[in-house]
Amino acid sequence: MNQISAQALTGNREGLQGGAGKGGGSMRWKWLLGIFAALIVLLVVAVYIFAATYDYDRLRPRIVQAVKKSTGRDLLIEKPLAVEVGFSPVIVLEEVRFGDFGEDSEAGLLRVKRCEIQIALLPLLKDVLEVKRLQLVEPQFHVDRSSPPGPRAPGGAGPGTGSDSGPVSTTEEGAGQPARSDGAVERGAQRFPAFGFKDVEVVDGVVVYRSGPEGAVHTLRLERFEARSGGMDANIDLEASGDYEGHRFELKGRTGGLPALTDPKRPWDVRLEGLFGGAAISIEGEMEDVFHIRGGRFTVSFHGEALESLPFVGSPGMTGWPGPFEGRFEIGDVAEGRYRISGLHMRLAENTLEGELELDTNGPIPSIEGALSSERLDLRPFISKREADASKPGAGASGSRDAAGGGRVFSSEAIRIPIPSWLILDLNCAFKNVFMPKWAFTYLGAQVQLSDGRLRIEDLKADTEAGSVTGRFHFKAAERGIVLDALCKVTKLDVSRMLKKLGEKPSLEGELDADLDLQGQGASFAEIMAGLDGKVSLVMGAGRIDSSGVDFWGADVVQSLMQVVDPARRPRSTTDFNCLVAGFLVTGGLARSTALVLDTDVTSLVGEGQVNLRYETLDLEFALIPKSGLSVPGLGKVGITIGQLTRPFKVGGTLKKPAVRFDVHETAWVVGKAVGGSLLFGPAGIAAALATGAAGSENPCLAAVRAAEAGVPVREDAGTPKELIDGMVDQAGKLLDRLLGR
């Protein structure tokens, strides 16, 4: 009994001791956990206090050095670095510049007024950089391709003896490309860290592109740009708005994610659409290597209601085109810095344009070469609109008045032929069915070349349904205006047929042959004509003039002249002729005649004189030689009757408002000059051809053509034999005496 009680007491005591031990261990664990939590809180508070009070601006030099080492370019952070501490800390940079800095304060690739970067901390534990928000305020991107390529001087942009690009590779595969240093190879071989973003925003950005030897500046202003992404592999949604050279644009679309953007083995898809000026534009395609801009293939399409709303139509040759437009082309790179535009097709109203082009950006000046063709190209609406605008009051010098109160023919409006020095161009053009106000071509082809501020139109060939035009035109940019050098030949051009094709009344019938060799310089057509040099020859065989359809000098003036040439004609508007010849030698804007002949079956109208192209004044003398009636010693019988001796006349006034004056008192003198040869291109020229006697075996048209082609101006001292003049004047004097009753 006593033993049992002792064992029970012993068991109870051990139980109490065991219970007390378990309760004390639980308390110890609670204390340990509380102390550990307190330490963590204290550590977090300490880290927060340290992070909040740490001078992050001390990191600026390290950041600058790291950027310089990895990119070879300078980074300048002008204001202290600031950090807003949190689970998604925000880094704030102000007045940041990145690029090459020298003495030029505007140098550099990038300037940013303020940059805010918000980074997620937890993804950093997985070696992932996730930018929750990136905002750039008033960034300015500067791209300068205005200077010739060459190694940059240390610390500056421009030619120098040093280069931060390293030596140039001379291997066959890398010829002409910068040879990378070992560090560069390592940088290129290293793996890009995992990177993602949620939101990127650009506010009030500017992109300035400077190109060409003259440093032409093109500016794009970005009011707002925003890119959003749902994650690492998610696509990127884009939206942007702004203006380019004063023309507003809006853009939105979707691109591939960042992994495809940084991995050359994964194509980066692009789907964009927007408005640019008055055109709706769509871009679809992909690029294999975005960082090196390689492997791109894109399809671009556009359409709009009015071409004038587009930015590039400010240049001459574009405004005034009516109707809606549409187009499509494909663009892709064929080599480094070389891009090909294929499948080009554009339609503007009834006009079409097709072709292929290749762009090379490797040199200091970009170049474009290729071929363009068209099935129909109607230029009449554009040219008619420009002429109408120029004729409006206050539209410029083309609407100005001269001292006599008449308008001018040659426009003083500034010529705006674009001859950029920042582009090299070589195009083979072949256009069908080309229409101009006074020309209609079934084919128009030429080689168009642009380089060194010179525009050359070589191997020009234009065919009509009856006739052809060949030649070449050179334009060179000058300090004032352009320098023109033109050579043109027209062969057997059926004028009437062309006018009918253009929908106009044929005022002139016959085949025209013309030769033009002209040079001039000026800022307007009037200035070019004022200093024009060269030679002009116009020849037509048998034809007809319809004075009722002549608008240049007015039908009434032409009808009066035709009545003089053909006095026996009935009241009608047409006059038939055997030939029409005009030749001029032009020196310093003064065109002196080498031949002026209109020959009919009844009479021949011949003349001499000059046209002042600077002042647009006429000083021409004409003699009417009927083909029977007057005998001249040495030449036989020259056709001048008493009633017709009053027909010699002068043409003065201006090109816009000519004046015809008949003077009976100068009859003998004018006719004497005519038969003497001063007007008729030498004593053995048309005077002999007009004679009805032994000397009249030569066709006056052939003599006039030879004179026009020779290009020798008529002179007062043409060497006419004295007996010829004396005989003519004596005969004319006797006839005048009889006419006056003496």
From 90-104, 258-272, 322-336, 491-505, the region with the lowest mean pLDDT: 90-104
State how far the Cα of 313 lies from the Cα of 310, in Å rounded to an integer: 6
Q: Which of 657, 647, 652 is nearest to 610 (CA)?
A: 652
Identify which has the larger pLDDT, 273 or 465: 273
Task: Provide the b/e sequence for 507-521 (b: ≥16 CB within 10 Å).
Answer: bbbbbbbbbbbbbbb
Least confident of 237-241, 267-271, 285-289, 717-721: 717-721
Q: Given this model, what pLDDT does residue 298 score? A: 96
pLDDT exceeds 90 at position 240: yes
Span 483-499, average pLDDT: 90
Q: Which two tokens stand for residue 314?
A: 């400010």
pLDDT tens readout for residues 148-198: 444 433 333 344 433 333 333 333 344 334 344 344 334 344 454 567 788
Eight-class DSSP state of 616:
T
Nearest residue to 348 (alpha-carbon basis) of 330, 369, 374: 374
Residue 555 has pLDDT above 60, yes or no: no
CA 326 vs CA 249, 301, 346, 576, 691: distances in Å: 18, 8, 6, 49, 66
> Mean of the pLDDT values across residues 37-44?
64
3 state DSSP class of 262: helix
pLDDT bin (cut points 50, 70, 90) of residue 691 is very low
pLDDT at residue 282 greater than cutoff 50? yes
pTM (2 d.p.): 0.65
Identity of residue 552: F
pLDDT, average across residues 714-724: 46
Q: Give CA–CA dist 495/55, Å, rounded.
A: 88
At 641, the pLDDT band (50, 70, 90 cuts) reads very low
| Residue 40 confidence class, pLDDT cut points 50, 70, 90 | low
Query: What pLDDT is attached to residue 111?
Result: 87
| Average pLDDT over every residue of 10-34 | 59
**What's the angle, vertex CA 433, arms to CA 427 and CA 436, rounded to 5?**
90
DSSP code string of 42-60: HHHHHHHHHHHHS-GGGGH
Higher pLDDT: 696 or 92? It is: 92
- Residues 148 and 215: their CA atoms lie apart, in Å, by 11
Full DSSP string of 647-659: --EEEEEBSSSEE
**Residue 694, pLDDT above cutoff 70:** no
User: Is the CB of residue 623 less than 8 Å from the CB of residue 607?
Assistant: yes
Instruction: Flag whether pLDDT at 323 surpasses 80.
Output: no
Q: What share of the chain has pLDDT > 70, as a percent?
A: 61
| CA 728/CA 670 separation, integer angstroms | 11
Q: Is the CB of residue 379 less than 8 Å from the CB of residue 434?
A: yes
Maximum mean pLDDT: which of 207-216, 643-652, 710-719: 207-216
The closest alpha carbon to 706, from 724, 728, 689, 725, belongs to 689
Please determine, for residue 85, whether its predicted confidence score (pLDDT) is greater than 90.
Answer: no
Confidence band, pLDDT 50/70/90 cuts, at residue 324:
confident
Residue-wise pLDDT for 107-141, tens only, equals 557 888 998 888 877 776 676 777 888 888 999 88
Per DSSP, the residues of 113-136 read: EEEEEEE-SGGGGGTEEEEEEEEE
Considering only residues 11 and 643, tell me which one the structure prediction assigns the higher pLDDT.
11
Range with the lowest mean pLDDT among 226-240, 313-327, 584-598, 679-693?
679-693
Residue 12's pLDDT band (cuts 50, 70, 90): low
**Whether the predicted pLDDT of 737 surpasses 70:** no
Model pLDDT, residue 309: 57
Quote the pLDDT of residue 317: 45
pLDDT, tens digit, 9 for 90 and up, residues 377-416: 988 877 765 555 555 554 444 444 443 344 788 888 888 7
**Residues 6-14, mean pLDDT to the nearest whole number:** 52
Query: What is the edge-to-edge ordering of all strands in the sheet holding 574-577?
Result: 508-509, 543-546, 574-577
Beta bridge partners of 129: 195
> Which region holds residue 154: left if phi is over 0, alpha if psi is between -120 and 50, else beta?
beta
Reduced to 3 states (helix: H, G, I; strand: E, B; else coil), residue 33 is helix
- Residue 343 pLDDT level (bands cut at 50, 70, 90): very high
**Pairing of β 440-451 and β 454-464:** antiparallel
Q: For residues 135 and 188, is the Cβ–Cβ distance under 8 A? A: no
Q: Which of 177-191, 590-604, 711-725 has the lowest mean pLDDT?
A: 177-191
Given this model, what pLDDT does residue 453 score? 85
Give the confidence band of 718 by pLDDT, cuts at 50, 70, 90.
very low
35: three-class secondary structure by DSSP: helix
Q: Per-residue confidence at 332, pLDDT binned at 50, 70, 90?
A: very high
Query: Regarding predicted confidence, which is higher, 642 or 662?
Result: 662
- Contacts (Cβ under 8 Å, ≥6 apart) of 736: 645, 667, 668
- Please give the single-letter amino acid code of residue 277: G
Quote the percentage of the chain above a pLDDT of 90: 26
Residue ranges of E strands in 234-337: 236-244, 247-255, 268-276, 279-289, 294-304, 325-335
What are 654-674's pLDDT values in tens digits? 888 888 776 655 554 445 544
Beta bridge partners of 451: 454
Q: Is the pLDDT of residue 368 over 90?
A: yes
Q: Which of 265-279, 323-337, 461-475, 657-671 has the lowest mean pLDDT?
A: 657-671
Identify whether the C-beta of residue 240 lies closer than 8 Å to the C-beta of residue 273: no
Is 430's pLDDT higher than 60?
Answer: yes
Name all contacts of 121-126 with Cβ < 8 Å and 24+ positions apart: 121/87, 121/88, 121/89, 122/87, 123/196, 126/194
> Cβ neighbours of residue 653 under 8 Å, at least 6 residues apart?
404, 406, 617, 618, 659
Distance CA 304, CA 327 (A): 9
Q: Which residue has the higher pLDDT, 585 or 169?
A: 585
Q: Residues 6 or more apart from 466 whose CB is under 8 A from it?
A: 492, 493, 494, 497, 498, 511
Backbone angle region of 280, left / alpha / beta, with phi > 0 → left and psi within -120 to 50 → alpha: beta
What confidence category does residue 57 fall into, taking pLDDT thresholds of 50, 70 and 90?
Answer: low
Report whether pLDDT(574) > 60: yes
Q: Which residue has the higher pLDDT, 84 or 485?
A: 485
- Whether the predicted pLDDT of 629 surpasses 50: no
At 705 the pLDDT is: 75
Q: Write down the pLDDT at residue 548.
A: 59
Q: Are 693 and 633 in contact (CB under 8 A)?
A: no
- Please state, in angstroms and rounded to a whole number, the distance separating the CA atoms of residues 182 and 163: 16
Residues 6+ apart with CB under 8 A from 34: none
- Assess contact for 435 and 422: CB atoms under 8 A: no
The stretch 225-251 carries a mean pLDDT of 88
pLDDT band for 88, please (50, 70, 90 cuts): confident
Which whole number is the average pLDDT over 606-620?
Answer: 92
